[in-house]
């Protein structure tokens, strides 16, 4: 290994977090049994929060953020990996309490790594990244609760974002009738191109007709959705709960509009609606590997390429602010060596 590597470093001063690209000595890497030369990381909503010092997810500064990466094993004290192996990391609080992927090098636990599936390039692995992996976990949870393409329309909220874009493409490729909710009219064509059959303006869901002064009001609306992948939360989720079909499920995976939920229990008791919590970070290894295998086989790679932009490490601070404002379209791969 060379003595230094480049990383995006967060430092805290007077309660404010500042990000800058710096050279760090290899000796500064945290403990772990596998050292990885990173090729790419990505931009996720959580990265936006961490780089901007929000959410109190980072315990100690200076800190190297980046909640996912793909790279090549350089050194391994674990029999599970050897130098030259290509590996993916998402979750396990890497980039939060452990140094992460916005760097040319990382040292992590072998138990956190997934071998790069055959047939998936490193850049596409990170085009999928945490957001796309979570989209697949959401689809898997919905299917396990009975969703199938003939059940009816499936709604994806926050559809032009990273998780939402992968969810739209994935569902459409499986033959689902996908409805995509977005606040960006200029991206309707983009969403249709990914496979959305119907586009909803997010204003159709919020303000929620099922809230009165922020409290649950009328509990039920007309049944519409056979399933939903909700990346937005808040009042959007209130509307979804009240308009789901009998025995249908919502994969609750995001909070882009808020983390509070005010809703009546009646849709659960009178229509058998399910809320399925999705947590990608601690997803156990067999399911993790299964999700990556399915993504490799089932996600249309041409659609993935269309939703993906590549940016250099130095652009992360700017992009981290933009993603919090809902201004980033699809997925952004971060080239840590550019
Ligand atoms: N559970 C997990 O394990 C897990 C894993 C990954 C991500 N997540 C969560 O999933 C969410 C999406 O992540 P991401 O990385 O895909 O972020 P993203 O690219 O920023 O996507 C979020 C999308 O939500 C919509 N949105 C933003 N602000 C909104 C608002 N105030 N009201 C309604 N819609 C709004 C926008 O889509 P439109 O412009 O199309 O409306 C935006 O593109 C985040 O909350 C993230 O924390 C959870």
Strand partners for 40: 70, 335
Q: What is the pLDDT of residue 15?
A: 86
Where in the chain are all domains bearing CATH 3.40.50.720? Answer: 131-277
Which of ligand 1's atoms lies nearest the C-alpha of 329? 43
At residue 298 the predicted structure's pLDDT band, cuts being 50, 70 and 90, is very high
Give CA separation, 229 vs 46, 85, 146, 196, in Å. Answer: 18, 34, 14, 13
pLDDT tens per residue across span 196-206? 999 999 999 99
Rounded Cα–Cα distance for residues 134 and 18 (Å): 29
In this structure, the number of other CB atoms found within 10 A of the CB of residue 86 comes to: 20
pTM over 0.95: yes
**Among 50, 186, 256, 260, which residue has the most ligand 1 atoms within 8 Å of its CB, making it the best to mutate?**
256
Predicted local distance difference test score (pLDDT) of residue 1: 45
CATH architecture for the domain at 131-277? 3-Layer(aba) Sandwich (3.40)
Residues 6+ apart with CB under 8 A from 172: 178, 194, 195, 196, 197
CA of 257 to the centre of ligand 1 (A): 8
pLDDT, tens digit, 9 for 90 and up, residues 163-179: 999 999 999 999 999 99
CA of 233 to the centre of ligand 1 (A): 9
Mean pLDDT of 60-69: 98
Share of the chain above pLDDT 90, in %: 99
**CB 279 within 8 Å of CB 291:** no
CA distance 128 to 76: 25
- What local confidence, expressed as pLDDT, does residue 2 receive? 52
Fold adopted by 4-116+307-335 = Quinone Oxidoreductase; Chain A, domain 1 (3.90.180)
- Whether 163 is in the pocket of ligand 1, judged by its Cβ within 6 Å, is yes
């Amino acid at each position: 290994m060379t003595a230094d590597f480049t990383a995006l470093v967060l430092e805290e001063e007077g309660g404010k977090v500042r990000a800058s690209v710096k050279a760090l000595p290899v000796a500064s890497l945290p403990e772990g049994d596998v050292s990885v030369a990173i090729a790419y990381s990505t931009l996720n909503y959580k990265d936006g929060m961490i780089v901007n010092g929000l959410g109190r997810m980072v315990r100690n500064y200076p800190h190297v953020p980046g909640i996912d990466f793909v790279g090549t094993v350089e050194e391994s004290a674990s029999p599970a990996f050897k130098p030259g192996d290509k590996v993916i990391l998402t979750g396990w609080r890497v980039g939060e309490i452990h140094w992460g992927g916005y760097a040319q090098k990382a040292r992590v636990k072998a138990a956190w790594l997934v071998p790069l599936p055959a047939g998936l390039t490193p850049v596409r692995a990170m085009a999928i990244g945490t957001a796309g992996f979570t989209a697949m976990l959401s689809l898997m949870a919905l299917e396990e609760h009975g969703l199938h393409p003939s059940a009816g329309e499936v709604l994806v909220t926050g559809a032009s974002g990273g998780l939402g874009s992968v969810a739209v493409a994935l569902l459409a490729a499986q033959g689902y009738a996908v409805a995509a909710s977005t606040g960006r009219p200029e991206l309707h064509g983009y969403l249709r191109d990914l496979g959305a059959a119907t586009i909803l303006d997010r204003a159709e869901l919020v303000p929620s007709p099922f809230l009165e002064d922020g409290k649950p009001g009328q509990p039920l609306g007309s049944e519409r959705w056979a399933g939903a992948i909700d990346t937005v939360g808040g009042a959007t989720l209130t509307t979804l709960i009240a308009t789901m079909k009998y025995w249908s499920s919502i994969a609750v995976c995001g909070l882009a509009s808020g983390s509070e939920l005010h809703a009546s229990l009646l849709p659960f008791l009178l229509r058998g609606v399910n809320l399925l919590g999705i947590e990608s970070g601690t997803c156990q290894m067999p399911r993790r590997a299964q999700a990556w295998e399915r993504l490799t086989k089932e996600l249309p790679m041409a659609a993935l390429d269309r939703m993906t932009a590549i940016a250099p490490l130095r652009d992360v601070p700017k992009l981290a602010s933009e993603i919090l404002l809902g201004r980033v379209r699809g997925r952004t791969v971060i080239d840590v060596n550019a």
